[in-house]
Amino acid sequence: MLEHYVYIVGLAASFMVAFSLGANDFANPTDCAVGAGAIDFNKALLLFSIFVFIGSIIQGRFVIKTLGGGVVSEIELVGALSAVLATFIWVTIATLLGMPVSTTHSATAGVLGVGLAYAAMGKIAVVEINWRNLLSIVLSWITSPLAAIALAACIYIALRKLLTRLRGDSRSWIILKASLIASLAFSAYSFGANDVANATGAYLFVTKKYLGVPAGEAMLFLSAIGSLGIITGASVLGKRVLETTAYKITKIDVVSGLAAELSNALVVWLFTTVPYVLFGYGMPISTTYSTVASIIGVGIAKKRSFSEVNWRTVLKIITSWITTVPAVALFSITTYLILIKII
């Protein structure tokens, strides 16, 4: 009976992780449209909420499967609770400081920390951690921002050439603005598909066990909880990080905003979908990396110079990224060792 109560507490903790995720990552699909002045905060929040929910329900299972069993095959109740608490603590601290950390890195590090704790206590061998999948995830963290930078720069250059041919009349700008808002919706969908797993993926095994449902139903249930938490967090604290990525990396206009947001949306969606189709596991990439990299890409492409980018802000962001994995893994291990003595 105690375990069932702990499971409910764990689901509540997952909702809080989703809350912190929404607060920190609301900026990722919306920063370009808001920064360019194409849409205000409230309308951006409405579109974000609608399309994050749709993306979570339709494709959220792609990455939930990865974090729910692709790193450590079976995460029991206390381990799942430890992973989500560690993720929540780190992402909340970062959000209050206005730093766009990677919730994907946080969630993956939380799961890894539990696996290392299992290994230290002799519950599993270190080799039972799926290092191959973990390596694939880490490689996706490197390749996705590089892809986003290159794609954003290419799209920006193509758009500028197209506008030059069309002579940039008023109709063209209306179409560009509408396209930017549409790219926000696509980006929010992709974000929901990839990031809902960060809050709930660790609970896949225990949800199947305690609710007695198949994996598909468990993933749908977790996707719904996660998406609602994300929307709530975005509504309450979403402005904090948005102000950093929308205004403090480079100046965003409609053209650069469209190039960056479309690049971000495509990269996140492709990394979510293609590996799942080919290998059965969607890659939990950092949507924060992707959006910041896309903005850097258009900043460089504007004048084909690195001077358009505020590298001081970028350095602060990268520093927070580097510290995320070891910090959350350590939080996760410590939390697990404490909880295992109590529960």
Instruction: Kindly list the distances between the CA atom of residue 291 and the CA atoms of 67, 124, 272, 315, 341, in Å, as whole numbers in the listed order.
Output: 22, 37, 15, 15, 41
Q: Which structure tokens are listed for 8?
A: 């409910």
What is the average per-residue pLDDT within 306-333? 81
Enumerate the domain spans of the chain: 2-342
- Distance CA(165)–CA(11), nearest Å, equals 54
Q: Which structure tokens are listed for 45?
A: 């929040």
pLDDT tens digits for 157-174? 999 998 888 776 778 889
- Distance CA(304)–CA(339), nearest Å, equals 53
Q: Which residues, 6 or more positions from 232, have their beta carbon under 8 angstroms from its beta carbon?
A: 18, 19, 22
pLDDT tens digits for 77-86? 888 889 889 9
pLDDT in the model for residue 68: 63
- Distance CA(107)–CA(198), nearest Å, equals 5
Inter-axis angle of helices 287-303 and 27-35, to 10 degrees?
Answer: 30
pLDDT in the model for residue 261: 96
Q: What is the mean pLDDT of the chain?
A: 86
Residue 181 pLDDT > 70, yes or no? Answer: yes
Q: Are 71 and 109 spatial neighbours (Cβ–Cβ below 8 Å)?
A: no
pLDDT tens digits for 223-247? 999 999 999 999 998 888 888 777 7
Name the E strands within 110-263: none
Residue 132 pLDDT > 90, yes or no? Answer: no
pLDDT in the model for residue 77: 82
pLDDT tens digits for 193-204? 999 888 787 788
* Model confidence, pTM: 0.84
Q: Are 244 and 100 spatial neighbours (Cβ–Cβ below 8 Å)?
A: yes
